[in-house]
Amino acid sequence: MRRYLIIFLAVIFSIALFFLTKYILNKLTKNNQIFYSTLVSVIGFCIFILFAFLFLEINSYDPSYSYQPPLLIDGKVKDGNFSK
């Protein structure tokens, strides 16, 4: 769920960045303002995704736990478990 929120916020951020860049370039009367706005919004999207995933996913699990999957021993299934 967290990754979908990050992607949604990145899309909203990049759209807002696109229109802000287009507005500023329109005031400066630059040529190719759509190209520059698109380029800035794509770069902004990538940067936002990178930092959001790094910031929000860095502590999403406890690395001290290890998982032992279920095992089949002598025709019986031994349950898996987490251990420190």
- CA contacts within 13 A on the Cβ side of 53: 10
Give the residue from 47, 51, 23 showing the smallest Cα distance to 37.
23
Residue-wise pLDDT tens digits, 2-58: 778 878 888 888 888 888 888 887 777 767 777 888 888 888 888 888 888 787 777
The vertex-16 CA angle with 23 and 53, nearest 5°, equals 145
Whether this prediction's pTM lies above 0.85 is answered by no
Structure confidence at residue 84 as a pLDDT band (50, 70, 90): low
As a 3-state breakdown, the chain gives helix, strand, coil percent values, each rounded to 5, of 60, 15, 25
